[in-house]
Amino acid sequence: MTRPRPLARIAAWAVAGTVSLLFLYPYLWMALGSMRSTRAILSAPLRPWPEQWTLDAYIRLHEVAGVTLWRAVANSLGITLASTALAVGITAMGAYALCRRPGLLAFRFLRGGFLLTMMYPYMLLVIPVYIVMYRLHLLGGYTGIVLFLSLGPVQFFLFEQFFRALPAEVIEAATIDGAQEWDILWRVVMPMARPVVATVSIITFLLNWAQWFPVLVVSTTPDTYTLPVALLNLNGELGTDFQGIMALSVITTLPPAILFLIAQRRVIGGMTEGAVKG
């Protein structure tokens, strides 16, 4: 195409820039809100920097919704990391098996059942999942939360797509060498799958960090609350402070935002592929 005219470029930048700033403004407002007093916000709602740089609201947060902040942070990290590891392992093996033996009737049912599950409105599983957790004695513990979070569609689609695209010769060659299936998976396939494992891990981390509903349902005390659940309950406690809510929002938002900015190519690429194949 011809070289773009400068006017057109300025117009395009103005539009894209305005949209981008509107999308980013809530982050600025959240950070400001954690530092400005209610009174100050009321008198100058749009002031773009705080009157004073203070972390008081963060310090006051040592206890949120009946748990210490550190406990909530540890829960978030622990639950997210554990469920990510499990999700990657379990989904990789499952998708691999389903790709190697797509014709098996049981596998066809499994795939169909899985897809059906993913379409069910999440929030409506509350009571049935509560009952299931109760029957399995998983209520109130970490195990139930982690297991429930170890299942997700994007992860499955990404692995499935990768394994389907795997050249048949690779496996044939290994089989001829007399390798066992287990070895083929771990010594041959998984090393090749490293990039997709990385992508799935990061995406799962981002998705599971944001989960709040299953955590709320399976928890019987605030001891297992993650940051988003603590945030929800902080919002509902008797007479809470606005600065605290914003401060906890910042704490909840920051880890995934940083991880995303570091790995943005992988995340966007992975989520696109996962969606396109689904």
Q: How far is the CB of 249 from another protein (least distance, A)?
A: 4
Q: Which is nearer to another protein, 38 or 52 (CB)?
A: 38
Q: How far is the CB of 136 from another protein (least distance, A)?
A: 7
Phi, psi dihedrals of residue 64, rounded to the nearest 5°: -125, 130
CA distances from residue 107 to 149, 184, 208 in whole angstroms, order as listed: 22, 20, 26
Q: Where does the chain have alpha helices with state H?
A: 6-33, 38-43, 56-60, 69-100, 105-119, 126-135, 142-148, 153-165, 168-176, 181-183, 190-192, 194-210, 213-218, 227-236, 242-262, 264-277
First to last CA, the chain: 35
Q: Which is nearer to another protein, 54 or 190 (CB)?
A: 190
Q: Which is nearer to another protein, 113 or 195 (CB)?
A: 113
Q: Which is nearer to another protein, 39 or 194 (CB)?
A: 39
CA distance 67 to 74: 11
Q: How far is the CB of 69 from another protein (least distance, A)?
A: 15
CA distance 41 to 207: 32
Q: Which is nearer to another protein, 74 or 170 (CB)?
A: 74
Q: How far is the CB of 41 from another protein (least distance, A)?
A: 6
Q: How far is the CB of 53 from another protein (least distance, A)?
A: 20
Q: How far is the CB of 73 from another protein (least distance, A)?
A: 12
Q: Which is nearer to another protein, 33 or 162 (CB)?
A: 33
Beta carbons of 248 and 234 less than 8 angstroms apart: yes
